[in-house]
Amino acid sequence: TKWVYSFGDGRAEGRASDRNLLGGKGANLAEMCSLGLPVPPGFTITTEVCTYYYSNDRTYPTDLDQQVEAALEEMGRIAGRRFGDPEKLLLVSVRSGARASMPGMMDTVLNLGLNDETVEALAKDSGDQRFAWDSYRRFIQMYGNVVLGIDHDEFEEILSDEKARHGYDLDTEFTADQWREVVGLYKEKVESEIGRPFPQDPREQLWGAIGAVFNSWMNPRAVTYRRLHDIPASWGTAVNVQAMVFGNMGETSATGVAFTRNPSTGEKALYGEFLINAQGEDVVAGIRTPQPLTEKARLESGSDKPSLEKAMPEAFATFVEVAKKLEAHYRDMQDLEFTIERGKLWMLQTRSGKRTTRAALKIAVDMANEGLITREEAVCRIEPASLDQLLHPTLDPNAPRDIIATGLPASPGAATGQIVFSPDEAEELKAHGVKTILVRVETSPEDIHGMHAAEGILTTRGGMTSHAAVVARGMGKPCVSGAGSLRVDYREGTMVALGRTFRKGDIITIDGGTGQVLAGAVPMQEPALSGDFSTIMEWADQIRRMKVRANAETPLDARTARKFGAEGIGLCRTEHMFFNDERILAMREMILSDTEEQRRAALAKLLPMQRADFIELFEIMAGLPVTIRLLDPPLHEFLPKTDEEIAEVAKSMDVNPKRLKERTEELHEFNPMLGNRGCRLAVSYPEIAEMQARAIFEAAVEAAKRTGQPVVPEIMVPLVGIVSELSFVKKIIDDVAKQVLEASGAKLDYLVGTMIELPRAALTADSIAREAEFFSFGTNDLTQTTFGISRDDAGAFLETYRKKGIIEQDPFISLDVDGVGALVKIAAENGRATRSGIKLGICGEHGGDPASIAFCERVGLDYVSCSPFRVPIARLAAAQAAC
């Protein structure tokens, strides 16, 4: 097997499409080489080695050693150097690189190959003693931490002691001899920690680093990251070994990162940051505040440090060309890493850049308009779930603002919450439903769980490409970074701003769009859904086949749904219309009635409320289809619980409270979800269905009169398992229709259909379709009954199932295609066999989940229905499914 792929000098054994084998970084390094761009030579050890490593007790294939040797040889040949040879010194970097980018999650070692002998060679080569010894101490520190497992702080402590001893503020003040002393102290530290000296043999160093990268695939933060991003552990990481180039060889050297377009706004302009005389880690770590790349950005930011454009015009010009070439080649916005060594530009990475949703939309629309990609591609470039970010509020521009600091607008959106200073606290409070803002000096990959739990992130150090900024943008969380005027004291649990002290638990607001940090909560504003968003939505609507409806019952929900582009209501849960104080009383009366007479009295109170609700819904939906489901209340949700509530209902019904209490007890069910609900209720108490049907038809007649548009109500019977249940209820509906239409003299078309939400219904869909004019898949109940797990109780163990790898996804969130999906397919096919044009839809939560929507397209459903806020997501996902 070929385990190692070389690249360099305009040639490469791999290419961009080898991403699964070489990881993203390796594949793109190979591609850049083949494009003739300046890339330091190197090689990639494949992800298959990682897989081999983990399935063979962390050992390597026997022939790997030989292949690595050959690749080292080739790299040396291209570089005109030789690994391990002090005469022709070749230092390397060792970096991870998985199929999907996992920023900062795994380990990297730079300057590898340095030892007591080669450090002298480096000094001679570079003509710079100070640089050589600084590089060596960086290497010991990195290697000591990543490979030998020594805490980073152990080294930092030595460093700050030395700084204090010399009275220095900055690392840059150390002289060559002082760095040499630090190296000595570091080496002593290593020896005392691991009981043997720091490894001097470059090959031992190399294999140590390779092993560390493979091991880091399983480190807790990488495992968490994969879980959050649904990346399977089986993918593995590749290892990239590459000749070192140095951005820290003095004032003509630099290192930086850039995006070919602005990752925050999408603006078409090179965007990035760099540091003179620094190594890559210095930029990303956010320890020194970097300088902007272009003059334009410098002027806009008011930075007093020169741009790269000004400081190194030639290298900058080359870089601009390279960036253009890469964007055109990959046909997407690229995220670039580069180093300039003594004026010469080297490319270290290119990949599709992470971006905010706003930027993603602008870039997709712009690129389609530029002719770089098609409209279909533009639509497919937007992650449907990410639209959520746009649908979220921003600060009300007219609200008073108590600004306590201003940092960088690192990730848009606004958030309010309690100050917490540690990621664990954010996670803990989140578990209790408390919203937090995570406040850190800077963030590191260890903080990721807390960043996920917090509403927003605030840092006092670091630029737009600092860890906090990159990760927050990826998560779609508001983030303000580098708010340098704030003083954070973790030990005291305080944040001082302009002389005011804020403590853990105090409420603050951050505005990731402007970088403002504000005291207290600030009123928020709904987003405007225009511009690039509506363009993409328009294109999506031209592409998709399935219709998108909303689950809505209140006028507010219905209006929101239409604003978001819903093409009708796919599920109106009538029981939800009775969840307010005034109405629940009548509902309780109805449920607790002993006799039909009592029940009819209560129903008579409900009828006008229902009718008025339906008229309003029909009016708002103005001719669009509206599916109204007959009452499906798991009774326990409506029963009075306290004595007070019982007394209230008793009074209103004019019955003895004691008797009423007994009645509640009679109605108690051990398993209400499988109890007397859905159509069973209509079979037990036909007068309920009668009242609802009457309300629907009378409302339809009235709304048609008012709007002048025909209303075609779709009446849906829930929880049918047996066709005769449906026949029974359908007869009630048809009879009421006849009465109402005769009485009013109006004409009206209507449909009667059913939910398919029980396995028996799915399996007997052919007979059910004789009665049903449409099916709507209730995949919430269908998942519950197919798995035999309760939707109310499963949360507790499903998470464990996920962690233990028994299931990959919560089946209540993303449709279980193999099981529940099989039932959906059978029902769709058999339903169509009986009634060829039968209308098919889905109204379970899955109707708003992109992966489930893709499944619905495959089965050929006519529409999906989801909650109003997910309608745009569903429109986009339906388009992508149709592409």
Q: Which does 779 bind (CB under 5 to 8 A by kind): Mg ion, ligand PEP, none?
A: ligand PEP
Question: Using CB under 6 A as the criterion, what x/- string covers residues 573-612 for binding ligand PEP?
Answer: x---------------------------------------
Asked if 327 touches Mg ion (CB under 5 A), the answer is no
41 touches ligand PEP by CB under 6 A: no
Please, what is the minimum distance in Å from the beta carbon of residue 599 to ligand PEP? Answer: 23
**Cβ closest to Mg ion, residue 273 vs residue 781:** 781
Using CB under 6 A, pick the residue from 335, 427, 553, 781 that binds ligand PEP. Answer: 781
Residue 122 binds which one of ligand PEP, Mg ion, none, with CB within 5 to 8 A depending on kind? none
Contact at 8 Å (CB) between 834 and 766?
yes
Count residues near ligand PEP (CB under 6 A): 10
How would you class 539 by CB atoms within 10 Å of its CB: exposed for 0-12, middle for 13-18, buried for 19 or more? buried
User: In angstroms, rounded to a whole number, what is the distance separating the alpha carbons of residues 467 and 464?
Assistant: 9
Q: Which residue among 778, 811, 841, 848 contacts ligand PEP (CB under 6 A)?
A: 778
Dist. CA 121–CA 123, nearest whole Å: 5
Neighbours of 506 (CB within 10 A): 15
The one among 31, 327, 757, 857 contacting ligand PEP by CB under 6 A: 757
How many other β-carbons are positioned within 10 Å of the β-carbon of residue 89? 24
Structure tokens at 737: 């229709």
Q: How far is CA 381 from CA 360, 375, 536, in A?
A: 8, 10, 10
Binding status of residue 412 toward ligand PEP by CB under 6 A: no
> Cβ distance 140 to 112 under 8 Å?
no
CA-to-CA distance for 626 and 693, rounded, in angstroms? 14
Binding of ligand PEP by 553 (CB under 6 A): no
Output the CA angle 335-338-340, nearest 5 degrees: 160
Nearer to Mg ion, 655 or 674 (CB): 674
613: left (phi over 0), alpha (psi -120 to 50) or beta: alpha
Contact between 154 and 121 under an 8 Å Cβ cutoff? The reply is no
779: contact with ligand PEP by CB under 6 A? yes
The answer to whether residue 781 forms part of the interface with Mg ion (CB under 5 A) is yes
Q: Shortest distance, CB of residue 808 to Mg ion, whole angstroms?
A: 24
816 binds ligand PEP (CB under 6 A): no
Which one-letter amino acid corresponds to residue 537? Answer: M
Q: Which does 652 bind (CB under 5 to 8 A by kind): ligand PEP, Mg ion, none?
A: none
Instruction: Closer to Mg ion by CB, 478 or 844: give it.
Output: 844
Q: Choose the stretch contacting ligand PEP; rule: CB under 6 A; options: 95-103, 651-659, 775-783, 801-809.
A: 775-783
Q: Which residues are catalytic?
A: 467, 843
- Binding ligand PEP (rule: CB under 6 A), the pick from 844, 848, 868, 872 is 844
Question: What's the closest the beta carbon of residue 147 comes to Mg ion, in angstroms?
Answer: 55
Query: What are 243's two structure tokens?
Result: 């000749």
Contact flag: residue 771 with ligand PEP (CB under 6 A) = no
Among positions 628-687, residues that touch ligand PEP (CB under 6 A) are: 632
Window 203-232: residues binding ligand PEP (CB under 6 A): none
Q: Which is nearer to ligand PEP, 134 or 781 (CB)?
A: 781
Say what the alpha-carbon torsion angle 798, 802, 806, 812 is, to the nearest 10 degrees: 50
Q: Which are the contacts of 867, defined by CB distance < 8 A and separation ≥ 6?
A: 550, 551, 552, 845, 848
Nearest by Cα to 13 from 4, 244, 326: 4
Asked if 266 is part of the footprint of Mg ion (rule: CB under 5 A), the reply reads: no
- Considering beta carbons, is residue 312 or 679 the nearer one to Mg ion? 679
Cα 535 from Cα 369, distance rounded (Å)? 11
292 vs 831, beta carbon nearer Mg ion: 831
Tokens coding 118: 């080669």
The reply on whether position 760 binds ligand PEP by CB under 6 A is no
Closest contact distance (angstroms) between CB of 783 and ligand PEP is 8
User: Rounded to the nearest whole angstrom, what is the least distance from the CB of residue 711 to Mg ion in the complex?
Assistant: 25
Give buried/exposed letters for 715-754 (b at 16+ CB in 10 A, else e).
bbbbbbbebebbebbbebbeebbeebbeeeeeebebebbb
Q: Is 146 or 820 the residue whose CB approaches ligand PEP more closely?
A: 820
The answer to whether residues 131 and 174 touch, using CB atoms and an 8 Å cutoff, is: no
Residue closer to ligand PEP by CB (options 513, 778) is 778
Q: Which stretch binds Mg ion (CB under 5 A): 59-67, 68-76, 458-466, 752-760?
A: 752-760
H/E/C letters for each residue in 121-164?
HHHHHHCCHHHHHHHHHHHHHHHHHHCCCCCHHHHHHHHHHHHH
3-state helix, strand, coil in the chain (%, to 5): 50, 15, 35
Cβ–Cβ < 8 Å for 351, 100: no
Q: What angle do CA 600, 601, 604 make, to 5 degrees?
A: 85
Query: Using the rule CB under 6 A, is 627 a contact of ligand PEP?
Result: no
Closest to ligand PEP by CB, 110 vs 716, is 716
Q: Find which of Mg ion, ligand PEP, none residue 13 binds, CB within 5 to 8 Å per kind.
A: none
Question: Which span sits near ligand PEP by CB under 6 A: 356-364, 538-546, 557-565, 774-782?
Answer: 774-782
Q: Is the dihedral of CA 640, 642, 645, 651 positive or negative?
A: positive
- Encoded one letter per residue, x for contact with ligand PEP by CB under 6 A and - for no contact, window 468-507 reads ----------------------------------------
Give which of ligand PEP, Mg ion, none residue 821 binds (C-beta under 5 to 8 Å, depending on kind): none
> With binding defined as CB under 6 A, does residue 780 bind ligand PEP?
yes
Partner from Mg ion, ligand PEP, none contacting 714, C-beta within 5 to 8 A by type: none
Provide the minimum distance between the beta carbon of 873 and Mg ion in the complex, in angstroms, as a whole number: 21
Token look-up 């505040």 returns 289
108 CB-near residues (< 8 Å, 6+ apart) = 93, 94, 95, 96, 142, 146, 213, 281
Give the DSSP H or E segment for 842.
strand 839-842
Q: How far is the CB of 564 from ligand PEP (least distance, A)?
A: 19
845 binds Mg ion (CB under 5 A): no
Closest approach of Cβ 792 to Mg ion, in Å?
13
Classify 666 as helix, strand or coil.
helix
Residue 844 binds: one of Mg ion, ligand PEP, none (C-beta under 5 to 8 A by kind): ligand PEP
Nearest-CB residue for Mg ion: 781
Using CB under 6 A as the binding rule, whether residue 571 contacts ligand PEP is answered as yes
Q: Is 5 or 775 the residue whose CB approaches ligand PEP more closely?
A: 775
**Angle, nearest 10°, between helix axes 596-621 and 686-707?**
30
Tell me the window of 38-46, 378-386, 622-630, 781-789 that interacts with Mg ion (CB under 5 A): 781-789
Candidate ranges 201-209, 276-284, 392-400, 780-788; the one touching Mg ion (CB under 5 A):
780-788
- Phi, then psi, of 333 in degrees rounded to 5: -65, 130
Longest Cα–Cα distance of the chain, Å, equals 104
Q: Nearer Cβ to ligand PEP, position 260 or 779?
A: 779
Question: Applying CB under 6 A, does 811 fall inside the site for ligand PEP?
Answer: no
Residue among 104, 778, 847, 850 that touches Mg ion (CB under 5 A) = 778
Binding ligand PEP (rule: CB under 6 A), the pick from 471, 843, 873, 874 is: 843
Residues in contact with Mg ion by CB under 5 A are 757, 778, 781
Residues in contact with ligand PEP by CB under 6 A are 571, 573, 632, 757, 778-781, 843-844
